[in-house]
Amino acid sequence: MSSPALPAAAPSRDRVDACPGALQTHAAADGGLARVRVPGGTLSAGQLRTLAAAARELGDGYLELTSRGNLQLRGLAPGAETSLGARLADAGLLPSDTHERVRNVLASTLSGRTGDGHLDVRPWVRDLDAGLRADPVLAGLPGRFLATLDDGRGDVAGLGGDVGLLALSPGSVALTLAGTDSGLRPRPGDAVALALAAARAFLAERAAQGSSAWRLAELTDGPARVAARLGEGRVGHHGPLVPVPSAPLTGPVGAAGQLDGRTALIGVVPLGRLTADQADLLARLAAEVQLTPWRSVVVPDLAEDAVDDAAVDLFRTGMVFDEASPWLQVTTCAGRPGCAKSLADVRADATAAVRAGTLPAGGARQHWAGCERRCGRPQGGVVDVVATPAGYRVEED
């Protein structure tokens, strides 16, 4: 097996996996925090309505978009997770109590709707999610484990997936491991089975190394060793290694023409804070939406005569459709009052800087954080704006 090895990282031992879920909530300073996994980022209108009502009645009124296309509710009262879990289960958002935290699946934005990819990864999303849930062993995956399903447009393959499928052509797929090409080349119809086998191989290799690593890259020679386990009689076809595309710094914004003649609108949600009212509006506009890793929402399948009204309605709620907007440049951690470690209300401060046109570093892409942990920092080149007892420190590359 010729898969390149990442630098060995010290295996992590005896760490408690406290990654929050919908049932295993995190006690934040502003109440319980629940993370709802949304494989492929796809939500139906009914699911949006359920989430909006839950945010309003159980949380702080917001749905936070995460860099993995998932959602978070904050400000939950003690015990609210029981009601939340029942609501999510009724809406099909909690199909498994045992596997809910391991359903981290990123898929190419607009796959199957625009012609930028080689194939439609939406069936992969359904099959991978079903395969994860069907295997009791895979309930042992860490809550941070991530799968990326890239249709060849190169938007999610570079987002740090532990296991990934990257379409190279309509008939050939690369299996990626910790963001590197493994050289294994399943056919599209076999690709999900191989990705699931890779997830099992990660767990087996982790056990063999006596590690409690959360990510494949944390294992010693993780990608090479997992690929070698898969190569033992399971996969016959190998191909020359290809570079995995770097993830774009931002996703698409605005209107995109679909293959079927309809239009998709992609709007950025400033700081990833979707209000319950915005979620209800999205549910009125489309049968389903797609959340992206860039804190935006895709409203697909709009008829030509509905696009302008939809864009105006969403714009009035604060969603952004201008790719030159400073809102596309700024991400933040939770900060005060949600995080007890924070030295500042970073969301309020970043919002004030956007509105006043005073973003530091000339408005370059930047992540504001309330402490040195820098939670939620995006991949790629980012200026760090870190709160200190004496104000913000700006760290440019």
Considering the rule CB under 6 A, would residue 142 count as an interface residue with ligand SF4? no
Nearest distance from residue 10's CB to ligand SF4, in Å? 22
Asked if 373 interacts with ligand SF4 (CB under 6 A), we say yes
Rule CB under 6 A: choose which of 56, 238, 262, 374 binds ligand SF4.
374
CB of 164 closer than 8 Å to CB of 176: yes
Report which of 116, 111, 93 is spatially closest to residue 38, judged by C-alpha positions.
93
Q: Is 339 in the site for ligand SF4 (CB under 6 A)?
A: yes
Which of 335, 349, 359, 382 touches ligand SF4 by CB under 6 A?
335
- 26 binds ligand SF4 per the rule CB under 6 A: no
Which one of residues 73, 149, 192, 334 is an interface residue with ligand SF4 (CB under 6 A)?
Answer: 334
CB 381 within 8 A of CB 363: no
With CB under 6 A, what is the number of residues at the site for ligand SF4? Answer: 12
Distance CA 125, CA 69 (A): 13
**What does the chain come to in residues?**
397
Interface residue with ligand SF4, options 369, 382, 383, 385 (CB under 6 A): 369
Least distance between ligand SF4 and beta carbon 311 (Å): 33
56 binds ligand SF4 (CB under 6 A): no
**Which residue type sits at 231?**
G
**Apex CA 107: angle with CA 105 and CA 112, to 5°?**
145
Other C-beta atoms closer than 10 Å to the C-beta of 395 total 14
29 sits near ligand SF4 (criterion: CB under 6 A): no
* CB 335 to ligand SF4: min, Å: 5
H or E element at residue 43: strand 42-44
Instruction: Decide whether 341 or 365 has the Cβ nearer to ligand SF4.
Output: 341
53, 203, 307, 371: which one contacts ligand SF4 (CB under 6 A)? 371
271 binds ligand SF4 (CB under 6 A): no
The reply to whether 84 sits near ligand SF4 by the rule CB under 6 A is no
Min CB(334)–ligand SF4 separation in Å: 4
H or E element at residue 198: helix 188-208
Strand partners, 331: 367
Min CB(229)–ligand SF4 separation in Å: 35
Region from 145-153, 230-238, 327-335, 352-360 binding ligand SF4, contact rule CB under 6 A: 327-335
| d(C-alpha 152, C-alpha 157), whole Å | 9
Instruction: Report yes or no: 152 and 167 within 8 Å, Cβ to Cβ.
Output: yes
Q: Is 223 in the site for ligand SF4 (CB under 6 A)?
A: no
DSSP for 207-237, written as a single string = HHTT---SSGGGSTTHHHHHHHHHHTTT---
Q: Does 366 bind ligand SF4 (CB under 6 A)?
A: no
Close Cβ partners of 296 (under 8 Å, ≥ 6 residues apart): 65, 251, 252, 253, 266, 267, 268, 269
Q: Do the Cβ atoms of 97 and 39 come closer than 8 Å? A: no
Closest C-alpha among 352, 294, 350, 303 to residue 323:
294
Q: How near is the Cβ of 383 to ligand SF4 at its closest, in Å?
A: 15
Give DSSP secondary structure letters for 248-294: PSS---EEEE-TTS-EEEEEE-GGGEEEHHHHHHHHHH-SEEEE-TT
Binding ligand SF4 (rule: CB under 6 A), the pick from 333, 353, 354, 382 is 333
Question: Least distance (Å) from ligand SF4 to the CB of residue 366?
Answer: 14
Q: Is 351 in the site for ligand SF4 (CB under 6 A)?
A: no
DSSP 8-state class, residue 163:
E
> Closest CB to ligand SF4 among 234 and 373?
373
Q: Is 69 in the site for ligand SF4 (CB under 6 A)?
A: no
Stretch that binds ligand SF4, among 117-125, 132-140, 314-322, 364-372 (CB under 6 A): 364-372
Q: Is 341 in the site for ligand SF4 (CB under 6 A)?
A: yes
Give me the least distance between CB of 66 and ligand SF4, in Å please: 12
Q: In the complex, which residue's CB is closest to ligand SF4?
A: 370
- With contact defined as beta carbons under 8 Å apart, do 3 and 224 qualify? yes
Does position 342 interact with ligand SF4 (CB under 6 A)? The reply is yes
**Binding region for ligand SF4 (CB under 6 A) out of 94-102, 109-117, 334-342, 389-397:** 334-342
Q: Which helix (H) or strand (E) holds 89?
A: helix 80-90
283-319 burial string, b = 16+ CB within 10 Å, else e?
Answer: bebbebbbbbbbbbbbbbbbeeebbeebbeebeeebb
Could you list the residues that contact ligand SF4 (CB under 6 A)?
333-335, 339, 341-342, 369-371, 373-375
